[in-house]
Amino acid sequence: MRSGLSILADHPRLYWNNGCTPTSEWVRFTPIVVPLDRMWTAKEDNRYIRPVWGLPGYRHTVGIARVWHFLTVPFFLLNGVVFVVLLFTTGHGHRLVPASWQVLPDAWRVFVYYATLHLPLEPNGFYHYNALQQVSYFAVVFLLAPLAMLTGMAMSPAIENRFHWYPRLFGNRQSARSLHFLVLVAYVVFLVIHVSMVAATGLLRNMNHITRGTDEAASPAGLYWGIGIVLVTVAFGGLAHWLSWRRQRGLQGLQAAVSGTLWRATLNRFQPRAFYQKKDISPYFWANGKLPVSEEWKQLAAEGFAGYKLKISGLVENPVELSLAELQGLAKEQNITMHHCIQGWTGIAEWGGVPLREIVQLVRPHASAATVVFYSFGEGPFGGAYYDTHTLENCLHPQSILAWEMNYAPLPAIYGAPLRLRVENQAGLQDGEVDSRH
């Protein structure tokens, strides 16, 4: 939840449309109205979030927030599978799964009791839940949890670009993002009500039910266990915050070992397919960041990038430096695709440029080359060169190009001139040098 809030704060707007045009959001968690009389970037639009609410919190921490978010996914899924298997193999399935539709009117009657500040006659919760409890627990386990995972999958660039029908099950990609957030709200509402009712209907007995599996009404042992679990959870939150700022490389390495391994076996194998047409191009396209400030880039921009050279070196047999004219002479591919920014917004645009597979064939990478590093003229969030990495396999996919054209016109500076990387299984990067390394 906390890493999700950090991600949301990086683009604090939710939409029901894929274009993400300012003023089209149905809710925004920022007082800022996007100014239309000057350049306004997605980076400027993000908001500060306190670390107590977000992981890691602060501004411009979406990368580490996504590391935590994706690291928890396999364990969230594994925990759910173990829970459901044990639920039915131990004979407890009937406690959560209603046996008839009569549970709905029964649950409504129980709700009326609570809503009018009366407590209904309670069965012994150790053996049997009342109808509202049963419906609530069933919804959390069998509706909210799957919906959280399914809407999360609908936001994957690899899935959206290969199975265009899938996000449409939720309306579109941004609708899935909005539903993903509403699932979070539902979790929080359930948590607040659930904990309140645990305390109001016999705290000691209920905590023994929950933590110890016993039906003792007076023993405080279950409460102590519960307090201990909360303290461990809070302590881990503190550790996670420390790791986020002191051991970032370690976290990234852990994500590469866990999530990266899973993605290489699944998502990275998907081949993008053309789907969008000219009529689908978004009327507005957010700019990722500010223009580079280096004198080298300013000089090249003043000359229309006539002197620009794309430098390719590293583990290749044929290192080269290619001008824009030489790149344009290699080949051209045009795609109309949806851009998936890691901040959360999307936009559909036409991109024209040289397929990366043509460049790979030209430079002939060594057999040991596995990763391509793309360097940008722009600075990183905390200074230094901004770069991105992609597997060589991903770069060979269809629709992986270095674009010099956007929406049938020369690529504007605010969108990455002279070249913008488009790897449609993942996200985009703007201008730079390319270095193929192991």
Distance (Å, rounded) from C-alpha 58 to C-alpha 81? 34
At 119-174, the pLDDT tens digits run 776 666 667 788 898 999 999 999 999 999 999 999 988 888 888 899 999 999 99
pLDDT of residue 124: 67
pLDDT of residue 313: 93
Distance (Å, rounded) from C-alpha 84 to C-alpha 79? 9
At 349-407, the pLDDT tens digits run 999 999 999 999 999 999 999 999 999 888 876 677 888 888 898 888 888 999 999 99
At 239-275, the pLDDT tens digits run 999 999 999 889 888 888 888 788 878 777 777 777 8
Pairing state of beta strands 333-340 and 320-323? Answer: unpaired
pLDDT of residue 341: 87
Amino acid at 106: D
**Average pLDDT value for the chain:** 88
User: Are the C-beta atoms of 311 and 321 separated by less than 8 Å?
Assistant: yes
Distance (Å, rounded) from C-alpha 52 to C-alpha 58? 10
Domains, in order of start, for the chain: 2-268 (no CATH), 274-437 (3.90.420.10)
Tokens of 250: 């370690």
Q: Is 180 exposed, middle or buried (CB count within 10 Å of its CB: 0-12, 13-18, 19+)?
A: buried
pLDDT of residue 151: 96
At 188-214, the pLDDT tens digits run 999 999 999 889 888 998 899 889 888
CA proximity to 72, closest of 211, 236, 267: 236
Average pLDDT of the residues in 82-106: 90
Distances (CA, A) of 113 to 119, 190, 242, 243, 365: 6, 18, 46, 46, 71
Q: Is 314 exposed, middle or buried (CB count within 10 Å of its CB: 0-12, 13-18, 19+)?
A: middle
Tokens of 336: 């109309």
CA proximity to 42, closest of 340, 269, 333, 334: 340
Residue 92: pLDDT over 70: yes
pLDDT of residue 420: 92
Q: State the first-to-last Cα distance of the chain, in angstroms, to the nearest integer.
A: 35
At 284-321, the pLDDT tens digits run 999 877 788 889 999 999 999 999 999 999 999 999 99
Distance (Å, rounded) from C-alpha 423 to C-alpha 372? 12
Angle at 345 (CA atoms; ends 5, 276), nearest 5 degrees: 145
